[in-house]
């Protein structure tokens, strides 16, 4: 996406009060969880097709979530395998992981897999990493769930050093090498400032989730301190620019009733699993009304004008370089998803200062 500087900076709320330099909104991405209740091969094929559609519509990036053991109905435990298949079907769109659960992985193997995918894609990989929150996955892999953040920090240092060509035990470097990939690492955060400062000090990008651990305030408000801490701490001496990706559930359709019909069943299924398996999410109180359920989870769904107004008023998005849209926790049909992607690219994104890339 190309940027209309006026719309992307001066007219968006939240910039003036901090006094910090921001790059402004630059790119539009799509995040998919490669999730569904049907045949896994069909789910995989449909999301491969969505990647092609996103590129044709001018999206800048295509991100996938890693899910072990069917978490959130996802069917991709090995994201680089999936991205290699996407790379074979696309030419320009950047390909990201959002995210690899690093405490469950050997960081040297992550470096090898990411480097291989980067070569196959012509240097298009964006490497998002996170500590994870799905307790059953840690139990299945025999990893200490309570130590996951400390484990991620150690693994992240090994990962970056390996990608930069540092010698491994025994003296051998990464092969084949991955020039530039270490400068395309992103770290994920839900909210809070510690992770933001760590990512900034390392010169990494920061990915903010569509949800927070604080249900008492809108997600955009809760994430502003995280975003501000990131920009204040960012280390430009490493040669990279700050990159703040903000993920939001966005589903523009003809009317609110259609949005509720398409998204509420998936949202309720997600809640049923997340309430028992995911850490740090207060999901005990759920609404019996489907429309209220979507509002509670900050889902921007309905007519284009309402969706655009909601995003324009999001103070965390006002600080972002990347808007990364998704449909999760909803599970719309393939055709409905394509229609929503087109509406985002042709109507919502331009209203926010972005226009499709040629």
Q: What is the pLDDT along the chain (358 residues), one digit of tens a residue?
A: 766 544 444 344 444 444 456 678 999 999 999 998 889 999 999 999 999 999 999 999 999 999 999 998 899 999 999 999 999 999 999 999 999 999 999 999 999 999 999 999 999 999 999 999 999 999 999 999 999 999 999 999 999 999 999 999 999 999 999 999 999 999 999 878 999 999 999 999 999 999 877 777 889 999 999 999 999 999 999 889 999 999 999 999 999 999 999 999 988 888 877 767 666 555 545 567 888 888 888 899 999 999 999 999 999 999 999 999 999 999 999 999 999 999 999 999 999 999 867 6
Question: Is 44 among the domain residues?
Answer: yes
What the block records as the tokens of 74 is 């996802």
Domain membership flag for residue 153 = yes
Whole-structure pTM value: 0.93
Closest CA to 345 of 27, 116, 21, 99: 27
The verdict on residue 358 lying in a domain is: no
As for how many domains the chain has, the answer is: 1
Start-to-end C-alpha separation, the chain: 8
The reply to whether 202 falls in a domain is yes
- Phi, psi (5° rounding) for residue 189? -145, 150
238 lies in some domain? yes
* CATH value at residue 235: 3.20.20.30
Residue with tokens 């499709």: 356
In a domain, 357, yes or no: no
Cis status, amide bond into 64, omega within 30 of 0: no
Rounded to the nearest 5 degrees, what angle is found at the Cα of 251, between the Cα atoms of 283 and 213?
A: 25
Residue 109 to residues 115, 128, 144, 323: CA-CA distances in angstroms? 10, 15, 20, 30
Residue 35, beta-bridge partner list:
74
Residue 133 counted as domain residue? yes
Domain span at residue 245?
2-352
How far apart (Å, rounded) are the C-alpha atoms in residues 317 and 246? 6
């Amino acid at each position: 996406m190309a940027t209309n500087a006026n719309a992307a900076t001066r007219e968006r709320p939240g910039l003036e009060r901090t006094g910090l330099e921001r790059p402004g909104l630059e790119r539009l991405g799509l995040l998919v969880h490669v999730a569904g209740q049907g045949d896994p091969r069909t789910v995989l094929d449909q999301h491969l097709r969505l990647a092609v559609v996103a590129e044709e519509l001018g999206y800048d990036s295509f991100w996938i979530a890693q899910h072990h053991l069917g978490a959130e109905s996802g069917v991709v435990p090995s994201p680089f395998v999936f991205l290699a298949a996407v790379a074979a079907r696309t030419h320009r769109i950047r390909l990201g992981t959002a995210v690899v659960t690093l405490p469950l992985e050997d960081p040297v193997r992550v470096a090898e897999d990411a480097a291989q995918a980067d070569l196959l894609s012509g240097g298009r990989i964006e490497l998002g990493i996170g500590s994870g929150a799905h307790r059953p996955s840690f139990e299945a892999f025999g990893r200490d769930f309570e130590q996951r953040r400390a484990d991620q920090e150690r693994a992240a240092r090994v990962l970056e050093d390996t990608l930069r060509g540092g010698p491994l035990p025994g003296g051998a470097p990464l092969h084949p090498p991955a020039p530039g990939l270490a400068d395309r690492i992103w770290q994920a955060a839900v909210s809070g400032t510690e992770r933001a400062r760590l990512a900034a000090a390392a010169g990494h990008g920061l990915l903010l989730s569509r949800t927070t651990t604080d249900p008492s305030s809108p997600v955009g408000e809760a994430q502003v301190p995280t975003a501000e801490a990131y920009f204040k701490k960012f280390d430009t001496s490493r040669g990279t620019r700050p990159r703040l990706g903000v993920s939001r559930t966005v589903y523009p359709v003809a009317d609110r009733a259609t949005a509720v019909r398409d998204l509420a069943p998936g949202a309720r299924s997600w809640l049923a699993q997340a309430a028992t398996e995911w850490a740090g999410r207060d999901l005990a109180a759920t609404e019996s009304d489907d429309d209220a359920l979507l509002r509670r989870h900050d889902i921007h769904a309905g007519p284009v004008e309402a969706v655009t107004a909601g995003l324009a008023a999001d103070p965390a998005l006002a600080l972002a370089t990347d808007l990364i849209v998704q449909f999760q926790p909803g599970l719309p049909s393939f055709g409905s998803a394509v229609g929503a992607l087109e509406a985002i690219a042709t109507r919502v994104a331009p209203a926010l200062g972005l226009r499709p890339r040629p």
